[in-house]
Amino acid sequence: MPRPPLEIGTYGKIRYSALPGGGWRARTQFRDFDGKTRPVERTGKTQGKAAQRLRNAIREWTGSTSGEVTRETKLKDLAVIWMQQVEDEVEQGEKSPNTATTYGSILDRHVLPGLGELRIREATVARIDRFLAALLSNVGSSSAKTARTVLSGMLGLAARYDAITSNPTRDTRRISAGQTKQPRALDADERAEWLAQLEKNEKAVRWDLPDLSKFMMATGVRIGEALGVFWEDIDFEAGTVDVAHTVVRVKGKGLYRKPRPKTKKSERVLPLPSWALEMLKERWNAEARPMASPVFASTSGGLRDPSNVLRVIRQTRGREEFLWVTSHTFRKTTATALDDADVPTRLIADHLGHARVSMTQDVYLGRKSVNPATAAALEGLLDNPSTGKSGDKAGR
């Protein structure tokens, strides 16, 4: 009966022979990842040193020389391969640059210090689960959830290389988001007070926050989308704005006007209420900037960093009553005004660039220009706002 072959990626018994000039030779048979069995040998002053050099050679061979991912590959080396794939997806427009930055940060701060020296075969469900539980307890749910996503991506790659039979991260406990704040909108009086206190604040005016607040309440766009709007995106005759970009900061590259907002569904042409259009016309006539320049530009005429703008909003939001206000508050205010005007939920989702209204409405095609009814509903947002329903619906 023939001897059964070695398992892929394993080696047989090590045999030793003395060298004529002194020292030892260690030999074995290694079954490579193409299925072929190859002889491997190394020498050393003693049998132990020869065997150690032989094992090191096989480990280097299986972990890196062939370019393969194997059971013996360390997670820190797997992370390099996986992050390169993430960077490639960013280059192809399939992932946001911010996603790659976030993944890289979580890897460097948490995953690699905690698990980087483990080999893929050692990354068991129990070990990963303990690591994520510790991260949840010591750092928080946001970092723990992102770490779980990163590990799932890495070990999913390992599974595609047949280094493991299944992705162990999938069997770890789910991480709850924890307690989240319910979004809150500015009511009629708060909208007027918010703008009034900004217009009295020298720093807020210098940072263009009064007009930026108005624009964001008129459109419901995200902060990065608002800062990514160029004058060429405004159609004064049609009374619309084309939301097709967002501003992000890319590590090592600086600010970048990404040609797609948060999701594909975020690309949309929004009708503007007349008061917002008038505000934009006044800015255009006063500034006379090039068409290919930001509507809300920096002092040098370039892009503004969303993080810096958010910081100034926090610094200038004034008294205690407005400490809860964030850039998302303007988005919620838009949604509430539309809801109070009985605009259908589907149109509100389109206006805000949401991908879903419910689980039964996952995929919509050809949704580019949004119904003008949304602009009509926002006409009275600042001068005669509706005070109907509370609008405190979750998920906006």
pLDDT digits (tens, 9 = 90+) for 194-225: 999 999 999 999 999 999 999 999 988 889 99
State the virtual CA torsion across 308, 309, 314, 316 in degrees, nearest 10. Answer: 120
Place of tokens 């701060």: 109
Q: Give the whole-angstrom CA distance, residue 324 versus residue 322.
A: 5
Per cent of the chain over pLDDT 70 is 81
The letter for the amino acid at 198 is L
Q: What is the pLDDT of residue 178?
A: 58
- CA atoms of 108 and 129, how far apart (whole Å): 19
62/58 Cα distance (integer angstroms)? 6
The pLDDT assigned to 186 comes to 87
pLDDT for res 373: 66
**From start to end of the chain, where are the E strands?**
15-18, 24-31, 37-44, 234-235, 240-243, 246-250, 254-258, 268-271
The answer to whether 295 and 312 are in contact (CB under 8 A) is no
pLDDT of residue 132: 93
Which pLDDT score, from 0 to 100, does residue 175 have? 83
Residue 309 CA from chain centroid, whole number: 19
Question: Residue 369 has what pLDDT?
Answer: 47
Sheet with 15-18: strands ordered across: 15-18, 24-31, 37-44
Q: How far apart are the first and last CA of the chain?
A: 69
42 contacts 55 by C-beta, under 8 angstroms: no
User: Do residues 147 and 115 touch, judged by C-beta distance below 8 A?
Assistant: no
Distance CA 126, CA 205 (A): 54
According to the model, what pLDDT value does residue 332 have?
Answer: 85
Q: What is the pLDDT of residue 69?
A: 82
Distance, C-alpha 133 to centroid of its chain:
22
Cα(214)–Cα(314) distance, integer angstroms: 17
Neighbours of 177 (CB within 10 A): 8
- Are 256 and 250 spatial neighbours (Cβ–Cβ below 8 Å)? yes
Q: What is the 3-state secondary structure (H, E, C) of 4-41?
A: CCCCCCCECCCEEEECCCCCEEEEEEEECCCCCEEEEE
pLDDT score at 59: 74
Q: What is the pLDDT of residue 116?
A: 92
pLDDT at 139: 84
Residues (pLDDT < 50) of the chain are 63-67, 358-369, 385-396
221-251 per-position pLDDT tens digit: 889 999 999 999 999 999 999 988 888 887 7
